[in-house]
Structure 1
Amino acid sequence: MSVLPLVFTSGWASGINAYAVVLLLGVLGATGVSDDVPSALQRPDVLIAAGVLFLCEAVADKIPYVDSVWDAVHTVIRPVAGAVVGALLAGQDGSLSHLAAGAVGGSAALLSHLVKAGTRMAVNTSPEPASNIVLSLAEDLGVAAIVVFALFHPVAAALIAGSLLALGIALVVFLWKKVRAFLRRRRERRAAAVSPSGF
């Protein structure tokens, strides 16, 4: 299916910021930049809702621990959005290939969401807020760039999204090992401080 790379990439991007994907695709379709965007995403009510929710996410995503709560709430929303966008991109006749496209979009969104949420939880162990802001801006810019690129070069964009997903999974595993080691050392120091010296 030729639309599958675009579905995968939009799903990956939806797992990071679903509202940005819907807003960007809708604007690009409504302005005539791309003919590949379904009309359902170009509706004014969809664009307004996506725009308002994107602004909410832009704020929440940059505040330590608020971002993790936001991510927890969106554990269902982002994969569903990825599946819906994928199904819309593939068509709406309910055929097996279109349902499969929805599954690909939803699965890619779920995986990238888990990577994002895991990375944010690890970053929140840092005492300074700058890392959250930098990471959030990088995610927003990355989603915008990859979605626009995917409309014109879907296969290349899918390869980039797949590579970023694999790197993200490796990064989450690495960060969580570091966080667990840090927490274990802290527990050991506290236990040593509480226990009587020499016993």
Structure 2
Amino acid sequence: MEQLHEIASIIALTMGVAWASGINLYATILVLGLLGATGGMVLPENLMILTEPMVIGAAGLMYAVEFFADKVPGVDTGWDGLHTFIRIPAGALLAAGAVGEVHPPLALAAAIVGGGLAAATHVTKAGTRVLINTSPEPLSNWGASLSEDLVVVAGLWVALNHPLLFIGLLILFILLMIWLLPRIWTIIKKIFGSLGRLFRSAEKPDRPSPAPTPKEIDIPPDLG
């Protein structure tokens, strides 16, 4: 039973850091670094670097930048687009480091699965933000951003303290993503298609109306 709990703890931490990285990488690093530095949790050897003050400071600085960038309509979508190249590989690295000192094949498998999970959560977040940005008011962006931050912190806490519960919730989340992503993609295509047609019609120059052609005048035979 104890061995089962240990395996569940490793899986929950591995998938938990990948899942959270796809939503907010800097909050994930900050939470893990602070917990490891203060003795709130024992990090695997490969993740002990997160407890270094320089790493914690950098994560805190970038989290502060993202905190404000993530709440401005339009800016949040650009920020998500840029972080496609940051969150996914970082999630894979954190997942590989979370399995601890193991043989390379297991670490590589954790990186592959973790990278895929980080990609899925990142795409779900970015796609949802595109839909939210169709609303003219900014309050929905603030609500979504704050909710994502709370979900990351709460999710990591559950993964560390209740691994079996986290694994069950993660399975439900993956099923929800499988159902949600195709629908988000369909709506996004319609949005960008409408924007494309709007820009094309705005850029198309107005063609001058053709000059009227003179009509032929029928001359009656008696006047010819």
Q: TM-score range by the shorter chain?
A: 0.7 to 0.9
Q: Secondary structure at the match of 1:126?
A: coil
TM-score (norm 2): 0.76
Deviation track 1:100-142 (CA, whole Å, cap 9, x = no partner) reads: 1122221110110000011111111111111111011110000
Deviation at 1:92?
4.7
1:17 correspondence with 2:28: no
What stretches of structure 1 of length at least 5 have no aligned partner? 192-199
Structure 2: gaps (5+ residues): 1-5, 202-224
Q: Does the 8 Å contact 1:26/1:41 carry over to 2? A: yes
Deviation per residue, 1:21-68 (Å, 9 max, x gap): 111011111111111353111111111111111111111111111000
Computed over aligned residues only, the root mean square deviation of the Cα atoms, in angstroms, reads 2.5
**1:155-196 per-position Cα deviation (integer Å, ceiling 9, x unaligned):** 321221332243245344444545666788997xxx9xxxxx
- Is residue 62 from structure 1 mapped to residue 97 from structure 2 by the alignment? no
Counting only pairs closer than 5 Å after superposition, residues 1-199 of structure 1 correspond to structure 2 as: 2=7, 3-37=10-44, 38-92=47-101, 95-177=104-186
The structure whose Rg is larger is 2
Moved over 6 A (4+): 181-187
Read off the aligned partner of 1:149 and give its amino acid letter: V
Counterpart secondary structure, 2:148: helix
Alignment size in residue pairs: 190
Q: What fraction of aligned residue pairs are identical, expressed as a percent?
A: 41
CA distance in 2, matches of 1:162, 1:64: 31
Asked if 1 retains the 8 angstrom alpha-carbon contact of 2:26 and 2:63, the reply is yes
Q: TM-score, normalised by structure 1?
A: 0.84
Secondary structure, in 3 states, of the residue corresponding to 1:136? helix
Would the alpha carbon gap of residues 9 and 73 (structure 1) be closer, same or farther in structure 2, given more than 3 Å must change? same
